[in-house]
C-alpha cells in the first residue's frame, strides 16, 4: 500500500489537513461516527516522543458509502518545524478510542522555506 504524503512549507497554515477513511474491519465505522463524534488529530515526528499537534479537534463529515472524512485547520506553530511527520486521527465511539488509519499512517512532510 502506498502511504499518502502531504507536502507543506514551514509556517504555512493552508490548505487544511483533510483525511478520508473507510474502516476495513468487519464493522462499518461510518455507521458509528457522526458529525457530532469527537475526533482528535495527532501529528508526531518520526522517532519523536512528543507530538507537534496533540489531540487537536478535527471536523467530521460522513459523506456515505462507509466513508468518514476529517478536516483540521492548522494553528500557528503547528507547521513551524521542517521534518517528516505521521498523522493519525482518534475518534471516540461509544466512549472508546478508535484510531485511523488502522492499516498505515498518513505522512506529512514540512519543507524548509526556499528563501
* 26 confidence band (pLDDT: 50, 70, 90): very low
Q: How far apart are CA 69 and CA 106, in angstroms?
A: 13
72 forms beta bridges with: 17
C-alpha cell at 112: 524548509
69 forms beta bridges with: 20, 61
Residue 1 has pLDDT above 60, yes or no: no
- Name the pTM for this structure: 0.79
At residue 71, φ and ψ (nearest 5 deg) are -125, 150
With CA atoms as reference, report the closest residue to 62 among 91, 105, 41, 88. 91
How many residues are listed for the chain in this entry?
A: 115
Q: What is the pLDDT of residues 94-110, one digit of tens each?
A: 777 888 877 677 899 99
Q: How far apart are CA 46 and CA 96, in angstroms?
A: 26
- Helix and strand totals (H; E) in the chain: 1, 9
How high is the pLDDT of residue 23? 61
- Three-state secondary-structure class, residue 36: coil
The CATH code for residues 5-111 is: 2.60.40.10
* 8 confidence band (pLDDT: 50, 70, 90): very high
Amino acid at each position: 500500500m502506498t502511504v499518502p504524503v502531504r507536502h507543506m512549507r514551514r509556517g504555512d497554515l493552508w490548505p487544511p489537513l483533510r483525511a478520508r477513511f473507510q474502516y476495513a474491519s468487519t464493522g462499518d465505522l461510518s455507521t458509528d461516527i457522526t458529525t457530532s463524534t469527537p475526533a482528535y488529530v495527532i501529528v508526531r515526528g518520526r522517532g519523536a516522543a512528543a507530538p507537534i499537534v496533540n489531540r487537536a479537534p478535527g471536523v467530521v463529515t460522513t459523506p456515505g458509502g462507509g466513508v468518514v472524512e476529517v478536516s483540521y485547520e492548522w494553528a500557528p506553530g503547528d507547521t513551524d518545524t521542517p521534518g517528516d511527520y505521521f498523522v493519525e486521527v482518534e475518534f471516540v465511539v461509544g466512549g472508546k478510542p478508535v484510531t485511523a488509519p488502522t492499516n498505515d499512517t498518513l505522512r506529512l512532510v514540512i519543507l524548509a522555506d526556499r528563501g
